[in-house]
Structure 1
């Protein structure tokens, strides 16, 4: 029996619809059962004349939003830190939110995190800024401070520090608090130095005050890329303090910036077009 043109068109249409449904089903399966367990390492060279030659090939690892707890379990956390150990960075920066909620705080989990963080051997320093979940209440804040203190991590809260490599030449690392005092945090910055800014909140980066300072690169996290990002449409929900600047909304600022999707999951154990990631930077003059 001869197939009519109408039948051919219907077959083509049905084939397209079936293909779309298969693609959606496959994407949802990966988003729920595969992507949350994955971890991308993004390698990037930071080349700038302001970086002294003594820091050539020095590595900086940046990760954020661990959210240890219900979804970011011990298995995922162990995979993360084994990856960090294998990369052997010279400097480590954590962008905030160690625990997902205060319900997960206990002596066993605290000691587990201390063990993981302490084992990182970063000869030029280990640093962190605080996220909103690190400051949920006094108990959480004290717990996080104690974990960092026992893991040789320095909390940067509206201060900047010099990073050198057996030389007086250096770059500056600036850490902002959740409600930053810009004048204090950005004091003594020079355009002759490479200035790396760390903020937990992306929206902080659009503050006009920052435009008057010589910032070379800024790093932020917090929104997890909303964990579920629809093609074209963007994130499935708005995240407070990440509404003006996020993985779906970019702006032309006076400095370059990177918004990380983080490593952990919160609210839902799903990752669609927002795979967990860490950044591995290599400095070069």
Structure 2
């Protein structure tokens, strides 16, 4: 009797066929499964804004996202990532969701993950938001415990300010996940004074169209994995809900031309243990105060 083909096996076989059709050899299949998922692309970008207080000029921000620990991404990789992040000397660290792939299978590694994430150093703070996998499998409380015990401020439809000694400040707002949570941009923005430079953390990039209705200058998101598998001349093979419009890199979103969206490709994989033309990403942003013209 033939083996019943599960949905995951079907998808794996389909992807294998697509990779072959794309001209990949057996070595290419091995690359997509074993090599590229273990690579790390440290991308560097400069964020310029006249709204940014001058005291924040030169501030370095790290964004990492979508580790999905337990599916393909390992504790050992997380340890190397922590060392890499600290080596970049960030002033601020943002995690944009999906820490564990399936929280039900990882409660036994809780203390080890907390220990590693606690080693991350950022003098102006560490902030995080929920992803869909952080809520899935009854993981909401586990994720909250891990992040808060690791020294992260977990933002769920709320905001926090970062103040300098000269009295200037920027605001970090964060919303709940769009798939399994209850995101509320209005609530997240409700305590932020007018004319404040504001960064929105949202796991789901497509929430940028709603965020553009508010005075937000920068949105940082993940969730898409950059498509995880990109086919030449076609683009991303699969994108999840709420990451179908904005997949990777920078975008101008909505009618608010002040809002810049950046979508990080993430670090791990989910559903399929492949990455092709979509390397795992760690992003370093450097803030620059841009003087207004007279």
Q: Distance in 1 between matches of 2:196 and 2:203?
A: 23
**What residue in structure 1 maps to residue 33 of structure 2?**
32
Q: Residue 201 of structure 1: which of 199, 204, 220 is its match?
A: 204
Q: TM-score, normalised by structure 1?
A: 0.84
Question: What pairs with 1:83-232 in structure 2 (closer than 5 Å)?
Answer: 83-107=84-108, 109-138=109-138, 140-178=139-177, 179-189=182-192, 192-207=195-210, 210-232=211-233
How far is the alpha carbon of 1:263 from its aligned partner?
Answer: 0.7
Give the Å deviation of 1:149: 2.0
Unaligned runs of 5+ in 2: 1-19, 290-294
Distance 1:163 1:36 in 2: 35
SS at match of 1:136: helix
Contact persistence 1:245–1:251 (CA under 8 A): no
State the 1:171 CA deviation. 1.2
CA distance in 2, matches of 1:121, 1:165: 18
The whole-number CA distance in structure 2 between the counterparts of 1:263 and 1:200 is 14
Task: Indicate the RMSD between aligned Cα atoms, in angstroms.
Answer: 2.3
CA contact (8 A) 1:99 1:133 kept: yes
- How far is 1:249 from its partner? 11
> C-alpha separation between the residues in 2 aligned to 1:238 and 1:123?
35
| TM-score normalized with structure 2 length | 0.82
Q: Which residue is 2:6 aligned to?
A: none
Max radius of gyration: which structure?
Answer: 1
In the TM superposition, residue 267 of structure 1 has moved relative to its aligned partner by 1.4
Where does residue 50 of structure 1 map in the other structure? Answer: 51
Question: Which deviations, in whole Å up to 9, do the C-alpha atoms of 1:76-109 show, x marking residues without a partner?
Answer: 22221111121121111100111001343233x1
Secondary structure in 1 matching 2:212: helix
Tell me whether 1:259 sits opposite 2:263 in the alignment. yes
Shift of 1:218: 0.9
Question: The residue matched to 1:117 in structure 2 has which SS?
Answer: helix
Q: Which moved more, 1:43-52 or 1:238-247?
A: 238-247
Aligned position for 1:274: 278
CA offsets, 1:51-91, max 9 Å, x none? 11211211111111111103001222222111112112111
Q: Deviations over 1:175-233 (max 9, x none)?
A: 111222222111244563321111101221123xx333121111111121221011232
Alignment length (residue pairs): 262
Query: What's the CA shift for 1:248?
Result: 9.7
Q: For 1:24, what is the secondary structure of its paired residue?
A: coil
Three-state SS of the structure 1 residue aligned to 2:31 is helix
